[in-house]
Amino acid sequence: MLLRGFARAADVALLQALEGVTAQAPLRHLVTPGGHTMSVAMSNCGPLGWVSDRNGYRYSALDPLSGKNWPAMPACFVGLAAQAAAQAGFKNFQPDACLINSYQPGAKLSVHQDKDEKDFSAPIVSVSLGLPAVFLFGSASRGDKPQRYRLTHGDVVGWGGPSRLAFHGVAPLADGVHQLLGRRRINLTFRRAGRASAAT
Which of the choices ligand MD6, Fe ion, none does residue 126 contact, using the CB cut-off of 5 to 8 A by kind? ligand MD6
Q: Which is nearest to 71 in space by CA: 90, 102, 49, 42?
A: 49
Write the binding mask 91 to 130 for Fe ion: x where contact by CB under 5 A, - elsewhere. -----------------------x----------------
DSSP assignment of 158-179 equals EE-GGGTT--EEEPPPPP--BT
Which residues, including other chains, have CB under 8 Å from residue 23's CB and lie 6 or more apart? none
Judged by CB under 5 A, the chain residues 51 through 90 that form the site for Fe ion are none
* Residue placing its CB nearer to ligand MD6 in the complex, 68 or 148: 148
* Residue placing its CB nearer to ligand MD6 in the complex, 22 or 126: 126
The least distance separating ligand MD6 from the CB of residue 16, rounded to whole angstroms, comes to 20
CA contacts within 13 A on the Cβ side of 7: 33
* Residue placing its CB nearer to ligand MD6 in the complex, 109 or 122: 109
**C-alpha distances in angstroms, 92 versus 81, 85, 197?**
10, 8, 9
Which of the choices ligand MD6, Fe ion, none does residue 97 contact, using the CB cut-off of 5 to 8 A by kind? none
